[in-house]
Amino acid sequence: MNFPVIKGASYGLIQACDMVRYQGTTQTSEMRLNPASEYLAQMPGHLRAFADAVAYPPNQVYIGNLRPRALRDIPSPWYNNPIPNASAQGTYGAILPQEDFLGLMKAVDKFDLVLLEESFQNAAAERLAANAAVSGWKALAALQKGQAEAAQIEALVQEHKAEPLYNGGKLVGCVKKAHDFDAALSEHVMFENLVAKASAAFALALLLQKTGLAAEEVDYIIECSEEACGDMNQRGGGNFAKSIGEICECLNATGSDMRSFCAGPAHAMVTASALVQAGIYKNVVVLAGGASAKLGMNGKDHVKKGLPILEDMLGAFAVHIGENDGVSPIIRTDAVGRHRIGSGASPQAVMQAIVAEPLNRVQLRISDVDCFSAEMQNPEITEPAGAGDVPLANYKMIAALGVMCKDFEKSELAAVVDRIGMPGFAPTQGHIPSGVPFLGHCRDMILEGALNRVMIIGKGSLFLGRLTNLFDGVSFVVERNPGKADEPAQEATSNEAVRSAMAEAFSSLAASLRAQ
Partner 1 sequence: MDLENQRRIKEFAEQYGSEDFILVLGGGEAEASGLAAETVSVGDPTFAGPLAGVSLGLKAYHIFELKDEIDPAVYEEQISMMEMVLDVDAIMQEVATYRG
Instruction: Enumerate binding residues for partner 1 (CB under 8 A).
Output: 344, 346-349, 351, 386, 388, 393, 396-397, 400-401, 403-404, 410, 413
- Kindly tell me which of 69 and 396 has the beta carbon lying closer to partner 1: 396
Shortest CB 384 distance to partner 1, Å: 13
Shortest CB 247 distance to partner 1, Å: 40
Q: Report which of 202, 114, 209 is spatially closest to residue 162, judged by C-alpha positions.
A: 114
β-strand pairing of 5-15 with 313-322: antiparallel
Percent of the chain as helix, strand, coil, to the nearest 5: 45, 20, 35
Shortest CB 189 distance to partner 1, Å: 25
- Kindly tell me which of 400 and 478 has the beta carbon lying closer to partner 1: 400
Kindly state the DSSP code that residue 433 receives in the 8-state scheme: S
- Kindly tell me which of 224 and 400 has the beta carbon lying closer to partner 1: 400
- Kindly tell me which of 33 and 515 has the beta carbon lying closer to partner 1: 33
Shortest CB 397 distance to partner 1, Å: 6
Q: Longest Cα pair distance anywhere in the chain, in angstroms?
A: 81
Shortest CB 12 distance to partner 1, Å: 33
Q: Which residues pair with 170 in a beta bridge?
A: 167
- Kindly tell me which of 81 and 346 has the beta carbon lying closer to partner 1: 346
Shortest CB 455 distance to partner 1, Å: 17
Q: Report which of 311, 313, 494, 330 is spatially closest to residue 385, judged by C-alpha positions.
A: 311
Distance CA 82, CA 54 (A): 9
Shortest CB 373 distance to partner 1, Å: 19
- Kindly tell me which of 326 and 347 has the beta carbon lying closer to partner 1: 347
- Kindly tell me which of 146 and 347 has the beta carbon lying closer to partner 1: 347
Shortest CB 404 distance to partner 1, Å: 6
- Kindly tell me which of 284 and 390 has the beta carbon lying closer to partner 1: 390
Q: Is the N-terminal amide bond of 384 cis, ω within 30° of 0? A: no
φ, ψ for residue 398, nearest 5 deg: -65, -40
Instruction: Return the H-helix or E-strand segment holding 10.
Output: strand 5-15
Distance CA 105, CA 133 (A): 15
434 neighbors 446 (Cβ within 8 angstroms): no
- What does R_g of the chain's alpha carbons equal in angstroms? 23
Shortest CB 380 distance to partner 1, Å: 18
Instruction: Count CA atoms closer than 13 A to 159's CA, side-chain side.
Output: 11
β-strand pairing of 162-167 with 114-116: unpaired
φ, ψ for residue 377, nearest 5 deg: -60, 140
- Kindly tell me which of 222 and 374 has the beta carbon lying closer to partner 1: 374
β-strand pairing of 5-15 with 114-116: unpaired
Instruction: Return the H-helix or E-strand segment holding 378.
Output: none
Distance CA 495, CA 466 (A): 53
